Every structure is written in C-alpha cells, then in structure tokens.
Chain A
Amino acid sequence: MLSAIGVMVALAVVIGLTLGWSAIRFKVEGNPLAEKIDAILPQTQCGQCGFPGCKPYAEAIAKGEADINQCPPGGEEGVKKLAELLGVEPKPLDESHGAPKPRSVAFIDEQTCIGCTLCIQACPVDAIVGAAKQMHTIVAAECTGCELCLPPCPVDCISMVPVAEDLPHWKWKHPVVQLKRVA
C-alpha cells in the first residue's frame, strides 16, 4: 500500500518535473494559431475589421474575440480558408465591415498635392515617398490598396486606381464549354 503510494508520488514528481521543464525549454514564442490566421489574412492592414492591422485581428480571432467574416479584402475565399483552419462553418462576409472591391492602388495627383505629409503618416506599409512641402508619390508595387491615406488628405488629391491586367499578370480564364449544339 505504502509502496504503491510511493511509486505514484514518485511518478507524479518525475512527470511533473519533466512537463515543467519542457514547458520552459520548448516554450513557443507568440501564439502559433494567431500566426497561422495571420498567414491567411491578406495583409492589407486596412483596419476595416475594426482592429489596427491584420495581426491584431488574427490575435483577436485566435482568442475568440472576433468573428472570421470581418475582412472584406480577404473576401469569401478568405472566410472559407479561415473556417477550414479553425474547423468552423464558413459564413457570409459581414457587410457592416465593408464589401470586397477589385484590387486597386492609390494614386496621388501630383499637381494638387501640397506636401503636407499626412498621408505618409497614415500609410501602414510606408509605401508613400515624400517630405514636408515636397510632392508625394505612391510606390505602387508596395501599396496594399487599404485606402487609409484617403481621409487625411486635406486637398483630396489621392484616388484609388484599379490594377489593370497586364501581360505578366494575365491569367487563363476558366474554360467556357459548350454543352449543347447551337448550330
């Protein structure tokens, strides 16, 4: 009886120590689930979800504080991927956070720009080049199309230009097949 208790206690101590040690030794920095969610999010950093950027939104989803259908740039496909990752039912996009739009980039009308730097401060990915009282311009390759530079502009010189299809970015369309003889 005593020896049995002794064995159990000894086992408990050994296992406890092992677990405790490995918890410290193999500690994972950050939240791996949030990172997986963050990898699915489109990284537009637009804040339409109600969080200041994609990472905070990912963390909120991981904690269960936010729903998966609040990201308009990710679209229905993004919701589906998140649902698959989290093992929940996909749901339609929450319209209150905005509707998905075709991918576009910001464009600064350089004739109108007064060089106030407000848009530079608003850009979440530092894709605007310029200095005080110098004309600003957008680095189109790095612009995520988040539209955060539009509201601060005092002269409304920024517009969103949809990205046109060019040869290197052209995609084959889904084949359209004829199911019935027409002629």
Chain B
Amino acid sequence: MSRELFRFKGGVHPPDHKAESNGRPIHAAPVPRQLVIPLRQHIGNPAKPAVNVGDRVLKGQLIGEADGTISAAVHASSSGTVAAIEPRTLPHASGLPDLCIMIDTDGRDEWIARVPLDYHNLPPAELRMKLRDRGLAGLGGAVFPSAAKLDPGARGACPMLILNGGECEPWITCDDVLMRHRADDILRGATVMRDLLGSTEILVGIEDNKPEAIAAMRTAAAKLDYAVEVVPVPAIYPGGGAKQMIETLTGKQVPTGKLSTDIGIQVFNVGTAYALARAVFHGEPMVSRLVTVTGHVLRPQNFEVLIGTPMHALIELAGERDGATGVLMGGPMMGVPMPLALPHGFQPAAGRRPFAGYAEVPVVKATNCILVQSRDLFPPPPPVLPCIRCTRCADACPVELQPQDLYRFVKAGDFGRAQEYHLFDCIECGCCSYVCPSHIPLVDYYRYGKSEIWAREREKRAADLARERHEFREFRLEREKQEKAEKLAAKAAAKRAELAAEAPAATAEGSDADAKKALIAAALARAQAKKAQTPPKNVEDLSAEQRREIEEIEARRAKIRELARKPLESESE
C-alpha cells in the first residue's frame, strides 16, 4: 500500500549534514552542578514559581505552576536545593534576562514518587490539565503547550493525527535517533493522543533520508492493535514544518488564520509523543529532552539532557574545538544565535584563546540542537547587494508568498501593505534568504516587520485603554460634581424645613429671601453660641501688661462692632 503524496510549492535542498551526529547512540548528559530552569519555556503565560529559595526539591518536583490554559508547568530536572529565583539570560535572540529558578544539585538525582496516569478512566479535560501540570509542550520548536492542542474542540473529534518525524532542518538529528531507539514509546504516546482527539487515521511522516528511523517505526507500528501508517516523504526543506507535512501527506492547505484542527488534522512532533508517553505511563514530567550537539565539535552526537543544563557543558561533553565563532540554538536555517559569555571565574589556559562559544544559557524545552559554528562551516555572509527582483525567493517560498515585495514593504516601513501581503503567514523557514543571489537576510526583515506590527498593536491597545480610562474619569468628575450639588441642595432644604417647623409664624408668610435670612441668622446664632461655650485658652499666667493689651484689643473690637452695627450715614440718607 502506498499513499499518494503531494508536493508543496517551493522548498530548497541544503546539504543535510545529518551523518555527523546520527550514528552515535544516545548518551545521558551528566547532572550539572547547577541547573538554571527558566519559567518561560513555552508559548503563552510563563509559569509561576512554586518553591522558595532554600527549599529542597526532588527530580520531577513541580517548581513552576502553569498559569492559565495556554501554559505549562516547570519541574526540577534533578534533586537539590533551590539556590536562587532571579532573572538570568535566556536562550533567546534578544539575550534579555527573565525569571529562572536555580537549583544546586546534590548529585543523587532522586526522583519524586512517579505516579502513572490512569488515562482510560480520567475524563479528557482532567487528563489535559494533568498533562499541562506535567509540563508538556511541543518539542518540535514552537513549544506550544500540548495540552491545549489535545482538545478536539467543538467538533468533538479530529479525524487525522499526524506524527511529525520530518526533521528537515540540516544538522539536527534528535528526532531521527529518538525514532530509531525509542519507537515503541513514541507510538504509546500517539495512542493517548489518538484517544484524546478521537482520531481514526494516524500517520507518521518521516523524510526518506532517515531509513533506519522509518524501519524502526514500522517495526513498532506492526506491534500495535490499530493501524499506524509510517509514510516516507521526500526530503526537502521545509518539509518538516507542520503545514508542509500536512500538505505533503494530504494535499490540503491550512487556510490563512485557521488552525489545522479546522480541517480535521492535528500534528505533533515525535518527541512530544515520546514525552507524553513518559508522562502518562511512567509518571515522569518533562524534565529532559534529546539535544543534538553538532557542528564544530569533536564528537557530534545526541544527548539526553536535563532541562536547565548550561549549553557550554554539553559543548565540552561533545569535545570543544578551537576556532568556534558562535553557537546557534536550532539549525542553520531557523536557529537563533545564542548570547555568548564566558562562565563565571573562567580562566583560559596559558596561551589559549578563550573559547568564543561559551554559551552560558541553559537548555530549555525548545532546544533541539546546539550547533557550534566555525569560520569553515559557516563562513561570514558575503556583502549584501541590492534586490534585483529576480523572484527566486518567490519560487522557493513554501507558503507561496512574494518575499521580494514583503522585503520592499518592510524596508520602507509600510507595514500595512506587508500585512496585506500576508506577512504573518511567513513561517520564517529561511528558504528565501538561502536562495537570494544578493545575499539579503530576508527573514531578518520579516521578523523585524512582525515584531514592529505587534508593538504597534500593543501601543494601540494601551492608547485605547488610556482613552477609556480618561473618558471614564471625566464622566466620574462630572457625576461627583452633580452629586455634591444635589447633596448640598438637599441639606439646605432640610434645614429650611426644620426652621419652618421651629417658627412657623415667622416664615409662613415670609418670602424666599426671608427664609435665606433666617438660615443665615440661625447659622450666626449657632456660631456665637459655640464661641461663647469655648473659653479662651492660655489665659492662666498672664502678666498685667499682657492683660492690659488684651483689654485694649477687646475694646477696639467692641468699638468696631458698634460701628458696623450702626448704619452708614450715606445709607441712612
């Protein structure tokens, strides 16, 4: 039985460099002295710290709680003591720090009690929550919280489940070796996914440059009591992208702004399926992953790495070499350069240049590959020439965009037009930059354009909030003014009524002005009564001179009062 395959448009054939690292078996990387575990490892809300500095934690213990549906928990990758909870540099293109939990490991690597999930008897919603709390996130690169993807939604079922073993990016082999050595567990995870999504068709797409992986997956699939079809797909970059894999296997395209579940397909990376199986059947939260360490190292290979292990420790493990120029997280097409720094207290041996590739940043759930660069493997890019609109990029674009136009719009700051030309459909695969004869770093422009548009939207939201709050304030001030006026009017009316009750004869026939005069008179009388009640203070120890002075003042005041009481001559006339 062979399935009809479809060919997505575009794509490139870069040299795959897989043989360097896929021949060696998986090695478990040793527990480092200190683990640096970021709380923001997935898309969505970062986890909230759930431990305090000084707490002893065990391997697999929850140290960061998931915050909301689109979030995932974070766990201690080994046993030890929480040394600090503070911002540290993340493996991110920005090189900015973010909140991390540092654990001083004790070397015992002691697990918490591992409780497998009885997934057949758990309601799906509860099972998804438990998977979220076991830190499950997509290991293909986007690190989207998997629990949210395992919800079939309103349709009630997602007919097709695709396991993505494409791994089209050059140099990376972690999915390849995982499929070779752990195929059974991958498919056990797929079984859970199938049951949660209600899928009837399960496909495993693997690029045909991994014959060993295909064979291993077929052997494992034959043992299952339901059909899993392992489909070799032609190796073409970016055939391992989720949307490209869907198109290759089914011929369907995911419409702009829609999810693949809208056309009844859900895609998971094989690594995610494996992690899911560990979480469900072994009770192990996501504390480690496979990482390819390759490029300019002595022994390129795959390691099973605890999340939070510093990258330079892995580079040393694989055998560091002189002449490294940088470190990429991911492959050469989509990888991001890691911020480089020398480790604390590092003293280069005499006569030896300090290794430029000391990446102090930790391995996170997104780290599929650590690619050490050198001048030979990655020569500096040639100078950039002007765009000649040859449209080779448009031919290579797997999402059928017009990269040369997008480039022009973004460069001119015309982000509205760029959005009209579907900038946000760009998967940043790098095919356009790869084929560009002018060596223009096109993807850098699209990334810049996207983040600029996001920033503008954020600003607009902030402005809308400010406008709303300002308008409400104006409304509130007006309302308060009105309320105050009403309160005063009500008080005056009440007093008037009181006076009217006291002296009905006087005010009954009196006009409004009389009522007002009466009010004033009453207030004056009240004030005078109060004044008479309060005796003058500080009059005990006064000298004769002071007394005389006071009497003089009092006399003057009395005289003035007398004058004020007498009508002025001009008025009397």
Closest Cβ of chain B to A130, distance in Å, is 15
> Using an 8 Å CB-CB cutoff, how does the interface string of A30-66 with B read, 1 for contact, 0 for none?
0000000010011111000000011100000000000
A178–B470 touching, CB < 8 Å: no
User: Are B383 and A178 touching (Cβ within 8 A)?
Assistant: yes
A42's contact among B444, B448, B458, B463, by CB below 8 Å, is which?
B463
Contact A175–B441 (Cβ < 8 Å): yes
Question: At the interface, yes or no: B93 with Cβ under 8 Å from chain A?
Answer: yes
Q: Residues of A within 8 Å of B, CB-based: how many? A: 31
The answer to whether B383 touches A126, judged by C-beta atoms less than 8 angstroms apart, is: no
* Given A44-B466, A127-B469, A169-B455: A175 touches B382 (CB 8 Å cut-off): no
Alpha-carbon distance A180/B466, docked complex (angstroms): 47
Q: Is the CB of A126 within 8 A of B40?
A: no
* Nearest chain B CB to A178 CB, angstrom units: 5
B470 in contact with A43 (CB, 8 Å) = yes
Determine the chain A residues whose CB is within 8 A of the CB of B455 once the complex forms: 169, 171
B546 on interface, CB distance cutoff 8 Å: no
Q: How far is the CB of A75 from chain B (nearest CB, A)?
A: 11
Q: Is the CB of B98 closer than 8 A to any CB of chain A?
A: yes
Distance of B366 from chain A, by nearest CB (Å): 14
B464 beta carbon closer than 8 Å to chain A: yes
**Does A125 lie within 8 Å of B469, measured CB to CB?**
yes
Write out the residue numbers on chain B whose beta carbons fall within 8 Å of the beta carbon of A172: 93, 444, 447-448, 450-452
B470 lies within 8 A of A125 (CB): yes
For the residues of B in contact with A, the DSSP-based class is helix
Contact A125 B466 (CB under 8 A): yes
Docked CA distance A183–B448 (Å): 27
Taking CB atoms, residues of chain B closer than 8 Å to A181 are 382-383
B444 partner, pick from A144, A170, A175, beta carbons under 8 A: A175
Asked if B94 and A170 make an inter-chain contact with CB atoms under 8 angstroms apart, the answer reads: yes
Interface residues of B in 437-459 (CB under 8 A from A): 440-441, 444-445, 447-448, 450-452, 454-455, 458-459
A37 CB to closest chain B CB, in angstroms?
12
- For the complex, give the distance between the alpha carbons of A59 and B454 in Å: 29
- Interchain CA distance A118-B336 in the complex, whole Å: 49
The CA of A111 and the CA of B90, in the complex, are separated in Å by 34
Most chain-B CB neighbours within 10 Å: which of A166, A171, A172, A174?
A172
A173 on interface, CB distance cutoff 8 Å: yes
- Residues of chain B lying within 8 A (CB to CB) of residue A165: 94, 96
* Complex CA–CA separation, A42 to B464 (angstroms): 9
Q: Which of A146-183 contact B (CB under 8 A)?
A: 165-167, 169-175, 177-181, 183
B13 at the interface (CB under 8 A from A): no
With an 8 A cutoff between CB atoms, is B550 at the interface?
A: no
* A contact residues around B473 at 8 Å (CB): 124-126
The CA-CA distance from A132 to B80 in the complex, in Å, is 49
Interface string of B376-391 (1 = CB under 8 A from A): 0000111110000000
Given A171-B451, A171-B452, check contact A177 B469 (CB 8 Å): no
Most chain A CB inside 10 Å of its own CB: which residue of B94, B448, B452, B471: B94
Q: A95 interface residue, CB < 8 Å from B?
A: no
Residue B506 lies at the interface, judged by CB distance under 8 Å to chain A: no
Q: Which of A19-38 contact B (CB under 8 A)?
A: 38
Report if A94 contacts B (CB, 8 A).
no
- Cβ of A38 to closest chain B Cβ, rounded Å: 7
Q: Bound state CA distance, A40 and B381, in angstroms?
A: 41
With contacts defined as CB atoms under 8 Å apart, how many contacts are there between chain A and chain B in the complex? Answer: 81
Q: Is the CB of A54 within 8 A of B98?
A: no
B93–A45 contact, CB under 8 A?
Answer: no
Question: A109 at the A/B interface (Cβ < 8 Å)?
Answer: no
- Assess whether B467 is interfacial by the CB under 8 Å rule: yes
Total interface residues on B, using CB and 8 Å? Answer: 37
Assembled-state Cα–Cα distance A169/B40 (Å):
14
Residue of A nearest to B444 (CB): A175
Interface centre among A55, A125, A180 (most CB of B within 10 A): A125
Instruction: Determine the residue in chain B with the shortest Cβ distance to A171.
Output: B451
Cβ contact within 8 Å between B444 and A124: no
- Closest A residue to B449 by beta carbon equals A172
- B465 within 8 Å of A by Cβ? yes
The answer to whether the Cβ of A142 comes within 8 Å of any Cβ in the partner chain is: yes
Residues in B whose Cβ lies below 8 Å from that of A171: 448, 451-452, 454-455
Interface pair A43/B464, CB less than 8 Å apart:
yes
A residues in contact with B467, CB < 8 Å: 38, 43, 54-55
Q: B226 at interface (Cβ–Cβ under 8 A)?
A: no
B98–A166 touching, CB < 8 Å: yes
Most A Cβ at <10 Å: residue of B98, B445, B469, B476: B469
Chain A residue numbers with a CB within 8 Å of B450 are 172
Q: A43-B467, A126-B473, A174-B448 are in contact. Are A169 and B382 (CB under 8 A)?
A: no
Tell me which residues across on chain B come within 8 A of A43, comparing CB atoms.
462-464, 466-467, 470
Roughly how many angstroms separate A180 CA and B381 CA in the complex, as a whole number?
11
Nearest-CB residue, chain B, relative to A45: B470
Answer whether residue B92 sits at the interface, using C-beta atoms and an 8 A cutoff: yes
Most buried by B among A165, A173, A177: A177
Minimum distance in angstroms from B315 CB to a CB of chain A: 24
List chain B residues, Cβ under 8 A from A179.
383-384
CB distance from A166 to the nearest CB of B (A): 7
Contact assessment for B458 and A173 in the assembled complex, using a CB-CB cutoff below 8 Å? no
B424–chain A nearest beta-carbon distance, Å: 14
Contact A142 B383 (CB under 8 A): no
Contact A167 B96 (CB under 8 A): yes
Residue of B nearest to A52 (CB): B474
A175 touches B448 (CB 8 A): yes
Which parts of A104-146 form the interface with B (CB within 8 Å)? 124-127, 142, 144
Assembly CA distance A131 to B102 (angstroms)? 40
Q: How far is the CA of A165 from the CA of B97 in the complex (A)?
A: 10
For B447, list chain A residues within 8 Å (CB): 172
**Residue among A41, A44, A53, A170 with max Cβ neighbours from chain B (10 Å):** A170
Residue of B with least CB distance to A180: B383
- Which residues does chain A contribute within 8 Å of B90, judged by CB atoms? 167
- The answer to whether B96 touches A144 (Cβ under 8 A) is no
Interface pair A177/B466, CB less than 8 Å apart: no
CA distance A175 to B451 in the complex (A): 13
Chain B residues near A125 (CB-CB < 8 A): 466, 469-470, 473
CB-nearest residue of chain B relative to A126? Answer: B473
In the complex, which residues of chain B have a beta carbon less than 8 angstroms from the beta carbon of A54?
467, 470
A165 to B96, CA, bound (A): 8
11 contacts between A and B (CB under 8 A): A41-B463, A43-B463, A127-B469, A142-B466, A167-B96, A167-B98, A170-B451, A171-B452, A174-B448, A175-B445, A179-B383
A residues at B contact (CB < 8 Å): 38, 41-45, 53-55, 124-127, 142, 144, 165-167, 169-175, 177-181, 183
In the A-B complex, the 3 residue pairs with the smallest Cβ-Cβ separation, listed nearest first, are A175-B444, A43-B466, A177-B384
